[in-house]
């Protein structure tokens, strides 16, 4: 693993594992997917479990930054593992934390500009939460929010998603700067 970290090329927010065989890429994607599942499964515990559950976004951002194929594979591997290990967290992962991680990784890799990245991620997260609330009728925001469509609630969700996506983008960039220091050693 040490040699893998040394060979990974890090430039600002671009990670590339192009020099590695496909089998190594699959292993990295699987490990990141497993980490996402562990974090997401912690949501069954109250308090610190909810904080750890939010951390499942991080491995997907990293996987998406490395390669779009690895990011998508990690997303689906995590979903498959959640079906077997913690099915109650599957919808939350697919439509919120996982979707945000995938969107942020894609935005950071391809859109490059912070404003576009945050808007893209926030739009996807809003869409995911709206699908859960209004189409699937899953009370993701608790019993106090009606499952009937309300444009004021939708605007509030989008405002929250903008802030949350911006925070996650800043956290991701900071984490990758730390990773860059580790890799450059």
pLDDT for 89-107, tens place per residue?
A: 999 999 999 999 999 999 9
pLDDT average, residue stretch 56-67: 91
CA–CA separation, 121 and 132 (whole Å)? 17
DSSP secondary structure, 4-63, as one string: HHHH-EEETTEEE-TTS-HHHHHHHHHHHHHHHHHHHHGGGSSTHHHHHHHTTHHHHHHH
**pLDDT higher at 108 or 43:** 108
pLDDT score, position 102: 96
CA–CA separation, 2 and 64 (whole Å)? 21
Are the C-beta atoms of 71 and 60 separated by less than 8 Å? Answer: yes
DSSP state of 113: S
CA–CA separation, 8 and 180 (whole Å)? 9
What are the φ and ψ backbone dihedral angles of 16, each rounded to 5 degrees? -130, 135
Are the C-beta atoms of 57 and 100 separated by less than 8 Å? Answer: yes
What is the pLDDT confidence band of residue 2, given thresholds at 50, 70 and 90? very low
pLDDT average, residue stretch 128-143: 91
pLDDT average, residue stretch 146-170: 93
Are the C-beta atoms of 162 and 119 separated by less than 8 Å? Answer: yes
Q: Which domains does the chain have, with CATH numbers?
A: 2-184 (1.10.1760)
Residue 83: Cβ-neighbour burial (10 angstroms; 0-12, 13-18, 19+): exposed
């Amino acid at each position: 693993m040490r040699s893998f970290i040394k060979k990974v090329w890090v430039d600002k927010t671009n990670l590339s594992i192009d020099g590695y065989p496909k089998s190594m890429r699959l292993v990295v994607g699987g490990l990141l997917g497993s980490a996402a599942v562990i974090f997401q499964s912690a949501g069954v515990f109250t308090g610190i479990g909810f904080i750890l559950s939010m951390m499942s976004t991080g491995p997907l951002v990293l996987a998406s930054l490395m390669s779009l194929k690895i990011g998508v594979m990690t997303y689906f591997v995590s979903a498959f593992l959640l079906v077997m290990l913690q099915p109650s967290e599957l919808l939350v992962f697919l439509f919120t934390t996982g979707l945000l991680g995938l969107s942020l990784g894609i935005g950071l890799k391809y859109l490059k500009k912070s404003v576009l990245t945050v808007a893209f991620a926030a739009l996807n997260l809003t869409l995911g939460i709206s699908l859960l609330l209004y189409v699937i009728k899953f009370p993701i925001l608790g019993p106090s929010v009606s499952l009937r469509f309300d444009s004021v609630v939708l605007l509030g969700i989008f405002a929250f998603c903008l802030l949350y996506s911006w925070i996650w983008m800043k956290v991701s960039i900071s984490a990758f700067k730390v990773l860059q220091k580790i890799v450059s050693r």
